[in-house]
Structure formats: structure tokens, C-alpha cells
Structure 1
């Protein structure tokens, strides 16, 4: 082995596990996207869904939750020059925007409004995962009142807007890990409480995808 080959050998060894991790992440995202598309095409027959029920509550709250994740992802994608950060931000933004479109269409098909009168996460009380007083996976929403699992505060969002470089990347990853943990809590409740198989299956796929993304984000955080 030449001196050049000896110097290159450790680099190849360190990069390979990282490539495998991201290959697994991209595969999960791709398969999950196909699953969401299939779910959106099934169950064309009209379904009676109560306005105050868990299916409507899940669709409304998850749309709100996803919207903030999309905003954070687009913010960091414009700021960062790190290809890994930009790649995961792009995947989060595109996947969750697509999912929001499907949940928006559900509420239309059910003849329900996009916003409800119940407080955020009220539908989760039957699952014992939200007590209306605080969230175990995230900070309270700015301004007080009921919280939504994992949501960043207005102050945290402003800090992300104003930060730059490695500081912005670390803040994004920290906020997104917590945000996804909240998403996992919501999706878990959806798999248990939803009354339609379409919503239960959809929630299960979100649970799978965001669990994989949390692992990828935690691994990425260690290198920032």
C-alpha cells in the first residue's frame, strides 16, 4: 500500500457509515411518499366524519404542525451551505407540504372547515397524551394558552430567522428534533384514536418517517 493509499483509507471508512445512514433515510422518505400517495387515492366513497372527532382534529392539528416544519426547513435551506442540512431540509419541506395538501383535501371531502373550534390537541385527551396544560415534547406556544406538541415559540422562530452559519444549522436541527418528537406524539395518538383506516394508516406512516428523521437529525447534530 502506498503512502497516499494509507492516508485515504481512514477517510473512506468514516464516510461509508454516513452514506449508509442517508441512503436509509432517503429510502424511507421515498417509500413513505409512495404510501401517502396511495392513501390519498383510496377510499373515494364519501365518509361521514364528525367535526369534533379525532380524524378531523388530527388533520387540522397536523397541518398546523407541518406548516411550521416547512417554514423552518425553507429558512435553513436558504441560509445553509451544508449539503446534508440542505438535503434534509428539502426532504422535510417537500414531504410535509405534500402531506398537508392531502389532509386539506380530506377536510374538504368530509364537508368540514379547515379550522375547528376546539383547542389544539383537544382530540388527543382520550389517548391521555395531552392534558391541555403543557406539552412534554416542546415549549409552550408564545402568548400562553394551549400548547401544541413540539412547536417552536415565536422567539425561537425569530432566532432562527436572524441566525446564520453553523449557529443557524445547530438551532434548526435542535428545533426540528423537538418538533419531530411532537409530531411522533400526535401521530401515535392518530394511530390509536382515528376512526377511519385511511387516517390511522396515514398517521402510522408519519410516525415511521419522523422517527427515521429524528435518528438522522441526531446523527447530523453530532457533526455540526
Structure 2
């Protein structure tokens, strides 16, 4: 009994520590942000830079949540390693995005609908044929139903569900990042968005191989 409680406490402490990463990175990003650049190149509240930072922070948070779920639903080392990578990478990037908003002295939430920043130069979600539903706020995001299904799955079934959900998640994230890389006015956001495209494309190739090994496809 004591061993079970110790294991549960260990998981809780790990979750708390990782959950604190975005806030810590956000503070660091705000402190390290050059004052001269913020004074001369602060994006507007409805800009692509600010909109992408807000939306992708939400998008990344779900990828982190998906990865925490599968971490406890399988003992497969490859899947758990991928989950840890996603948790660390996307929590770190989320902190950087929130740090940008802090540095610009812009709110981290908005009354505007998700991805409305894309409507300046290209179709937004409605024009793309996507409408938020069942907790899926942006393209690629899992629905509440899909999240619940992952929570109740186990072993190989959980692995396949996770890999499929994360593949779709990356597809949506890549589309958003490509738009931001072309629309953002600040070099920092353009560079960060392009980095997301490249890293998530690489992970999609890895997940395609992992699904194939499990007799499944995306």
C-alpha cells in the first residue's frame, strides 16, 4: 500500500514540475526579451504574431495533455519516449509563446474566435470548412470524446489512438505554423513557427513508422 502511495505521489510531483515549465519559460523569455526590440516592433493585439502566440499556446497544451495520458496507459518504451519529448518540447514552446505576449504587454486570451488572425491574408477556419466542436477549438485538436477514449484505452490500443490523435494534431499545428511563418511581422515568431513546422513534420514521419509497426495507419 505504501509503495502504491509513493508511486502515486511521484507521478503527481512529476506532473506538477512539468506543468510549471511553461510559466518558468514565459518569465525567462520576458526577462531576456530585448527592450529595444519590444519598443520598436511590438505587434498589435489583433496581429498574426499575437494571435498565433495565443492559439498555438492552447494547441500545444492539448498535445502535452495527450502525452501525459498515454504515458500512464502504456509501458511501451518508444511511445513513452515520444510522449516525454512532446511534453518537454511543446511545454517549452508554449512558455516561449506566452513569454512573447508578456514582453509585448498583450493579454494571453482574446474575445476573438480562434485563428481569426489568419483572416487578414488567407481563409480562416470557417472558410477552410472547419468549425469548433466538442472541445476541439482548432484544426487537428482532439475532441472531448476522443480524449475520453484515450483515457480508457490501454496497451497497444492506447498507443495507436495516441499516435493517430497526435498525427492529426501535428497536421493542424503545421498548417497554423506555416501561416504564421509567412504572416508574422516579428523575426522571433517567424523563426519559432518555422521550427515548429520542421520538428512536427519529422515527428509525423516517426509516428507513421510506429503506426506501421503496430499494423495501423494514421
TM-score tier by shorter-chain length is 0.7 to 0.9
Residue in 1 that maps onto 2:141: 151
Residue in 1 that maps onto 2:205: 215
Q: Distance in 2 between matches of 1:135 and 1:207?
A: 22
Unaligned runs of 5+ in 2: 1-24
Question: What secondary structure sits across from 1:222 in the alignment?
Answer: helix
Residue in 2 that maps onto 1:186: 176
Give the Å deviation of 1:214.
0.5
Residue in 2 that maps onto 1:126: 120
Give the Å deviation of 1:107.
0.5
**1:142 pairs with 2:134:** yes
Rg: which structure is higher? 1
Unaligned runs of 5+ in 1: 1-35
Q: Which runs of 4+ in 1 moved over 4 A?
A: 40-44, 133-136
- Counterparts in 2 of 1:216 and 1:192: CA distance versus 1, 3 Å: same
Give the Å deviation of 1:131.
3.7
Question: What secondary structure sits across from 2:89 in the alignment?
Answer: helix
1:18-33 to structure 2, matched below 5 A, reads none
Cα deviation 1:68-118 (Å, max 9, x = unaligned): 000001111111111110111100010000111111111111111110121
Please tell me whether the aligned partners of residues 141 and 152 of structure 1 are also in contact (alpha carbons under 8 angstroms). Answer: no
* TM-score of the two chains, using structure 2 as the length reference: 0.78
CA RMSD of aligned residues (A): 2.2
Residue in 1 that maps onto 2:81: 87
1:1-224 to structure 2, matched below 5 A, reads 43-45=34-36, 46=38, 47-132=41-126, 140-142=132-134, 147-224=137-214
* TM-score of the two chains, using structure 1 as the length reference: 0.76
Cα deviation 1:18-70 (Å, max 9, x = unaligned): xxxxxxxxxxxxxxxxxx9xxx5564532321001100000000000000000
